[in-house]
Structure 1
Amino acid sequence: MRVALIQMNASGDRRSNLANAGRMVREAADRGARLVALPEFFGVYGPPDVMRQAREPLDGPTVSWARELAAELGIDLISGSFVERRPDGQGLYNTSVHVDPRGDLRAVYRKIHLFDATIPGAETRESALFDHGDQAVVTTAQDGTTVGLSVCYDIRFPELYRALAGHARILVKVAAFPESTTRDHWPTLLRARAIENQAFMLGCSQVGAHDWGRSSGGRSMICDPWGLVLAQANDTVGLVVADLDFDHQDWARQALPNLASRRPFAAPVD
């Protein structure tokens, strides 16, 4: 399967962001990609007041745009994430969706781990804006390939990926990863999740200085189940493409049967 990651520098202008995203997704499809991922908050990205104003229902403009584009191009589209207004109207989720080549909404993942941190240049209390999701999600591409969904800060919680890996060949993480931690943490975390779960790991991030003072680290990356980097984006807006060899994955899982060799612990450590 050929996959592509779209690396963007999104602003608070939804119309401009969607136009830029659409152009790059079309380029990826022209290059033969059948599964394409967009980054976290690709449609609107800004400070908390902008994000609150950008809230929309699951059938709002962002998902509608994704459904039309996926159907037009005949691709599986992991549509980054957006600010979803909860169906009960009582809060917000950071939500990622999978749209299939017919334009059908195949899966919805609401970010479980919310980023509350005081990293210099990325001070954030995401839980003040969003509610936690509570469900791990595995979806299936048109060709039958299984895909586990995750968003940004989730990457620091290996138990989520271990739960997904038992059911998924590909693990996708969409992000607006802070520039201050990208250089030291991003490649190590992505390769670790790939190696320990013997899965293809796709990390799709925003890049560069945003118009409200935050900077994202970019370096969107595709890793194979052996931990090798198949493709990595430059520190600019653009896309990367790679071919995934599932026979190689089968070999890796047989040669080093990590998943099959796991042993349950009798009790947690106090």
Structure 2
Amino acid sequence: MTSGIDPAANLAAIDRVMGEAAAGGAAMAFLPEMSLLLDRDRARSATHIVREADSPWPTALQAMAQKHGLWLHSGSMPLLADDGARRVNRSHVIAADGSIRARYDKIHMFDVTLPSGENWQESAAYAGGDAITVVDTPLGLLGLSICYDLRFPELYRALVDRGATLIAIPAAFTVSTGEAHWHVLMRARAIETGCHIVAAAQCGTHGDGRETYGHSLAVDPWGKVLADAGTKGDAGNGGYALSYAPIAGAAADGARQAIPLARSRANRNIAL
């Protein structure tokens, strides 16, 4: 997606793409990080960001899932924490009947200064989550993470230990870090966990002036890229691009039988 600063426009794009996905036979749709609102102007975005109980966004997505008969991973959206002190970056997994089956708040905050000169201090406005989440879906047990979480492999090991066979990594990656690390890290997470990875991504030039890398990916448990949306999906292309990927449950079993990481790790418990 090329999400912008107008939540209504973003919701309209999501509704269109969910309709296309359902018509194309998809079982589940995955959106990128900050799919409902991508705006680094904290004063301007504050008018839209409220506690989940007061936000129209989850309800709108629930209605779309039910309307299209499609499971949905929301990517993420900015909401106020329940205490109202800071924001949270929250994912929702919504069933085709419109019920919310899981929530996840991004754990790792993107506080970096890049070689390109870009400086991001996510923790200035956002509180990190503290819960690991795995949820049952038609595609298998889905582990939840968001963007910068990608760089912390211990999180993905914990998701696998809780039964995950599929992991979502919605993102709004910068262009410079995407060019350097996006594909290799996604394939590494797939290989080391024996999981499918689905990484829906923001792409293009956004309403707040930032640029994101794109290349929404699906990767199988052997590290094979099943789908790569490339850099399509800028605003001139309707705000999104739709890619399909097959998720075969047997692929995780095959990868884990071929390279039994869990068994090998259990046999080599050593103190470091």
* TM-score between the two structures when normalised by the length of structure 1: 0.92
Q: How big is the shift at 1:144?
A: 7.0
Query: Residue by residue, what CA displacement relative to the aligned partner does 1:173-200 show, whole Å, maximum 9, x if unpaired?
Result: 1111111111220000000000000000
Q: Deviation of residue 259 (structure 1)?
A: 2.1
2: CA distance, partners of 1:184 / 1:29? 34
Q: 2:25 aligns with which of 32, 53, 56?
A: 32
User: Equivalents in 2 of 1:202, 1:146: separation in Å?
Assistant: 13
> What is the aligned counterpart of 2:250 among 224, 247, 265?
247
3-state DSSP of counterpart to 1:96: strand
Measured after TM superposition, the shift of residue 75 of structure 1 is 1.6
Name the residue aligned to 1:3: none
Match of 2:51 among 44, 47, 57: 57
Q: Equivalent residue for 1:129? A: 125
Percent identical pairs in the alignment equals 38
Q: Say whether residues 1:215 and 2:211 are aligned partners.
A: yes
Aligned residues: 260
Contact 2:203 2:211 in 1 (8 A): yes
2:139·2:247 contact (CA, 8 Å) conserved in 1? Answer: no
RMSD, aligned α-carbons:
1.4
Write out per-residue CA displacement over residues 130-185 of structure 1, whole angstroms, 9 at most, x where no aligned residue. 001001110111x3721001110000000001111221110001111111111220
Shift of the 126–107 alpha-carbon distance from structure 1 to 2, 3 Å rule, reads: same
Residue 231, structure 1, aligned to residue 224, structure 2: no
Partner amino acid, structure 1, of 2:224: L
Where does structure 1 lack aligned partners over 5 or more consecutive residues? 1-7
The structural deviation recorded for 1:50 is 3.1
Deviation at 1:217, TM superposition (A): 0.2
Shift of 1:234: 2.2
Structure 2 Cα separation of the partners of residues 232 and 58 of structure 1: 32
Of 226-235 and 115-124, deviating more is 115-124
Choose the corresponding residue for 1:262, options 260, 265, 271. Answer: 265
Unaligned runs of 5+ in 2: 234-240
Measure the CA separation in 2 of the matches of 1:81 and 1:186.
19
Instruction: Name the structure with the higher strand share.
Output: 1
CA distances 1:31-86 after superposition (whole Å, capped 9, x unpaired)? 11111111111111112223333312224211111100111112210011111111
Task: Report the counterpart of residue 21 of structure 1 in structure 2.
Answer: 14
In 2, Cα distance between equivalents of 1:22 and 1:144: 21
Give the C-alpha shift of residue 113 in structure 1: 0.2
**Farther off after superposition, 80-89 or 194-203:** 80-89
Relative distance call for 1:115 and 1:252 in structure 2 (3 A) is same
Q: Which residue among 79, 89, 93 is the counterpart of 1:84?
A: 79
| Aligned 8 A contact 2:32 2:76 in 1 | yes
- What residue identity is the alignment partner of 1:88? D
Deviation at 1:244, TM superposition (A): 1.2
- Which one-letter code corresponds to 2:151 in the other structure? R
Q: TM-score, normalised by structure 2?
A: 0.91
Q: Report the counterpart of residue 236 of structure 2 in structure 1.
A: none
Partner of 2:238: none
Which residue in the other structure is 1:68 paired with? Answer: 63
**Separation (CA, whole Å) in 1 of partners of 2:48 and 2:152:** 28
**Take 2:222 and 2:140, find their aligned partners in 1: how far apart are those partners?**
19
